[in-house]
Amino acid sequence: MPRRVVAAVLTGVVAVGLLSACEAGSVDPTPHPTTTLPAGVTVTLTQLRSDVADRQAQVRIRNGATSPLEVGAVRVDDPRFTGPATRVVDRRTTLAPGATVDLRMQLAAVDCTSGDEAPSTVTIEYETPAGAGRSTVDAAEEFPFLAALHHRECIAERAGRVATTGFGAFTPSASGVPASLALVITPQEGDGPGALRIVDVRETNLLTFDGVSGGVLAIDPAVGEVRVGDAARTVVLPILPARCDPHAVQEDKRGTVFGVDVDLDGERAAFTIAASADLRAQLLTWVARWCGYG
């Protein structure tokens, strides 16, 4: 076959191949930044009960389009935090038409120079049969949680300049008898203004306190009020299971996160103290044994 004929045939084959690829809806590999998502796709922010202790949140993506959506990198930008929130598990996720997915995000530390109210944006990279894209959009919250989280953690940060507060030793008990959980208050060293008073500790949905009503354990001001340079002190919390149904332990998410009310330089405020992973395991094991099904 003459060379010119061969070249013509090859050119025709290539042209047919390109035409076929276009007809098949091939994916454009180049992301195109936009401020809108593909039609039918929505993004919101939420926080599950299991996210609170680990300071995480969820980007909820709903694919209301008629074609699949593959999601890659995701980030949340919010001036109330020192950096963007990013996916806990770095992978790609495919959503079928009509599907919804919650992508777990790790929050950065709070930036307490920012106010409690601020806008959040979500940036997602994705692919559809029509091509690849990257969109940055305003992100509404399924229910308000970011302002409260920011305020709570900034109160804790301010309180931490006077004294740190955390849990110490846990002494389990036999069924029917309260266990002991140490709340350790450690003032900062040096000289400095400001006073912090731990007013009370609030029960959780799983744990309560012996000998109190309303689930609030008041702390003796002589022990709970500290200033920078004071000696460390320990408050022993007499704890009891607030409930004994097995699924309360099996499905626990917030049972070892205690609310603390404080007076910070005359201002009443509150923050939370979460048990460490090891302490949480000890507490849940004790509840199960105390209740008779451990």
Residue with tokens 């399924």: 142
Q: Judge whether 132 and 126 are in contact, CB under 8 Å.
A: yes
How confident is the prediction along the chain (294 residues), in pLDDT tens digits per residue?
Answer: 444 443 343 344 333 333 333 333 333 444 557 788 999 999 999 999 888 878 999 999 999 999 999 999 999 999 999 999 999 998 999 999 999 999 999 999 999 998 888 889 999 999 999 999 999 999 999 999 999 999 989 988 989 999 999 999 999 999 999 999 999 999 998 776 678 999 999 999 999 999 998 999 999 999 999 999 999 999 999 999 999 999 888 888 889 999 999 998 888 888 899 999 999 999 999 999 999 986
Residue 32: which of 169, 183, 133 has the closest Cα?
133
Do strands 93-95 and 41-46 pair parallel, antiparallel, or not at all (unpaired)?
unpaired
Q: State the Cα–Cα distance between residues 6 and 12, nearest whole angstrom.
A: 10
CA angle, 79 as apex, 75 and 81 as ends, to 5°?
Answer: 70
Enumerate domains of the chain plus CATH numbers: 33-145 (2.60.40.10), 161-290 (2.60.40)
**pTM of the complete model:** 0.70
